[in-house]
Amino acid sequence: MDTVPFQFNGDILRLVAFAASRKTCASLMRTCRFLYHEAAISALQQEVYLSCDAQIDKFLRFVEAEDRTRLRYVRSLRLHLHLLSPEQVHGIIDSMKWMTHLTSLELSDGEHALRTYPEMGVVLRQLPTLRHLGSCSVGKLFIALLSDLDCDLTSISLDWSTVVGKSFLHREVAREDWAKYHPVPFLSKWTHCLEELQCTGWYTPEFKDDPRFDAVYPRMRKLFIVRDDFPDPLPYIRAYPNLTHLSVQSSHVQAQVDLRQRRDENLKRQVRFSGSGSWQDLEEYRGNLDDLYLLGLTCRIERIVLYAQLNDCRPQLLSDVLLYAKPLHLRVTGDGALLVCPRNAIRSLSLPVILGEPGATRLESLVLKISLRRELDENLDMDSGLSALATALASLPLRRLRLLVDASRIDPTPKGTVGQPAPPLPDPPFPYSNAERSLQAFDLDGCMQTLMETLPSLMDVLVRIHGPRGNMRQWEIKPKGGRELAPGLDWTDFEFY
């Protein structure tokens, strides 16, 4: 009996191609004429990243097929121009003239590109479809380009810093003129459409008077500030009233007393500001604790993800921040002092204590990673610290918990290096430190069983204890339907990694 092969129609084949990776698209193109065209479209609508001559050579040969009609399907282009030959750069610039639907462009060094290849600026000024533009350096030429662009940018990424030497602002702009390059007035031609901004290396000057910027961006939702000594929140609060996502990672290294003085200044200025004083609320903050503390925000923040590891100087900052933010979801990493306050501390303030304060009363999701440090944490009582943490959690409306305690760094056993065998183990073995003994004594199963009985809302749990001496324990509860279906939680944002 002859069998009739099952055939997919064109719509199904097109869906397969547009769901495939670029590598899979290349394989699909060899199967039939239909996919030769459709898979090529799918491959080009994924981001194109070109950083060497060989990549550009392959790319140009690919897009010149089918009478260069493929170029109109390129949507996102990222160029790293430093190592490219002039011939290849001219080739890619010429091809950009045909990218009539290009929506996103990232340049590794926009100022250098415009200076070396003036035709690049001519081409960019003729791309009305651009919605995202980014550059890793900004100077006079890039500023002129921004003023000439005739497109509705919804996303901008500007890095004012340079690889060598000071930035354009430091070299060529008088300090009293810096205000005109503040992101709020500088990008005001896009007040009607801008939704996302990343600003890097723009250092907030000490304005003598409050800069009263008039521009308002009603569609702005996401703001990323990187490497700014002391970001001033007030201009952004006024200009971006509907902001939902804030990320700040500044470069200041200041004593806690200096941070408090600047925080007090920001708090006072927001109180004086006519209106709400701060944002009504934020959906998310990602970044450093020092920056969030310094900003002095008085609004609630639903999710807080802290990047830098907290040491024994920072629990007070966390307590002050949570008092206003009152988050639903919190991610914190720190050393042992975050869990067990050192005996010589002026104030006995640790995370178990903080979780019992008013700022933690709304907490539904907690991700906590504790990495014990050699010499600094080896005398801590981890048994009492973890028990105190469980007691604090039992009083919260917690639904989801991630707890990782890593004691591998306090193991004094000699370790081998890459390519070298480990030294022979001492005889007798090194004695256990107090932290190792107390961690080994901690009754993980009994503590978690008690917590579950006390806290019936806790439905999604993963606790791991690495150590002592290579030992690993885990306690887990999976929610019904799988973790990805946990109601109301974006679990991918709140894991250990």
State the Cα–Cα distance between residues 129 and 340, nearest whole angstrom: 55
3-class SS string, the chain: CCCCCCCCCHHHHHHHHHHCCHHHHHHHCCCCHHHHHHHHHHHHHCCEEECCHHHHHHHHHHHCCHHHHHHHHCCEEEECCCCCCHHHHHHHHHHHCCCCCCCEEEECCHHHHHHHCHHHHHHHCCCCCCCEEEECCCCHHHHHHHHHCCCCCCEEEEECCCCCCCCHHHHHCCHHHHHHHCHHHHCHHHCCCCCEEEEECCCCCCCCCCCCCCCCCCCCCEEEEECCCCCCHHHHHHHCCCCCEEEEECCCCCCHHHHHHHHHHHHHHHHHCCCCCCCCEEEEEEECHHHHHHHCCCCEEEEEEECCCECCCCHHHHHHHHHHHCCCEEEEEECHHHHCCCCCCCCCCCHHHHCCCHHHCCCCEEEEEEECCCCCCCCCCHHHHHHHHHHHHCCCCCCEEEEEEECHHHCCCCCCCCCCCCCCCCCCCCCCCHHHHHHHHCCHHHHHHHHHHHCCCCCEEEEEEECCCCCEEEEEECCCCCHHHCCCCCHHHCCCC
Q: How confident is the model at residue 6 (pLDDT cuts 50, 70, 90)?
A: very low
Range of the domain at 34: 14-45
Tell me, yes or no, whether 66 lies in a domain. no
- pLDDT value at residue 192: 97
State the Cα–Cα distance between residues 424 and 61, nearest whole angstrom: 58
Give pTM, 2 decimals: 0.86
Percent of the chain whose predicted confidence (pLDDT) is above 90: 42
In the chain, the amino acid numbered 235 is P
Tell me, yes or no, whether 25 lies in a domain. yes
Return the top range by mean pLDDT from 218-222, 284-288, 406-410, 463-467: 218-222
- pLDDT value at residue 485: 47
Burial letters 272-291, b for 16+ CB under 10 A, else e: eeeeebbbeebebbbbbbbb
Report how many domains make up the chain: 2
Tell me, yes or no, whether 325 lies in a domain. yes
State the Cα–Cα distance between residues 71 and 363, nearest whole angstrom: 50
Q: Which of 2-6, 71-75, 460-464 has the lowest mean pLDDT?
A: 2-6
Tell me, yes or no, whether 465 lies in a domain. yes
Structure tokens at 438: 């107390």
234-287, pLDDT tens digit by residue?
Answer: 889 999 999 999 999 886 655 555 788 888 888 888 877 655 568 989 999 999
Tell me, yes or no, whether 82 lies in a domain. no
Give the residue, 173 or 39, on which the prediction is more confident: 173
Query: How far from the centroid of its chain's Cα atoms is residue 174's Cα?
Result: 32
Give the residue, 336 or 9, on which the prediction is more confident: 336
Tell me, yes or no, whether 310 lies in a domain. no
Tell me, yes or no, whether 181 lies in a domain. no
- pLDDT value at residue 292: 93
Q: Is the pLDDT of residue 230 over 70?
A: no
Give the residue, 175 or 74, on which the prediction is more confident: 74
Q: Which residues, at least 6 apart from 431, have a Cβ–Cβ distance to it below 8 Å?
A: none
422-442, pLDDT tens digit by residue?
Answer: 677 777 778 888 888 999 999
- pLDDT value at residue 15: 63
158-175, pLDDT tens digit by residue?
Answer: 988 765 556 777 788 887
287-313, pLDDT tens digit by residue?
Answer: 999 899 989 999 999 999 998 777 766
In the chain, the amino acid numbered 488 is G
Query: Are 435 and 377 spatial neighbours (Cβ–Cβ below 8 Å)?
Result: yes
Tell me, yes or no, whether 192 lies in a domain. no
- pLDDT value at residue 4: 43
Structure tokens at 292: 């969030």
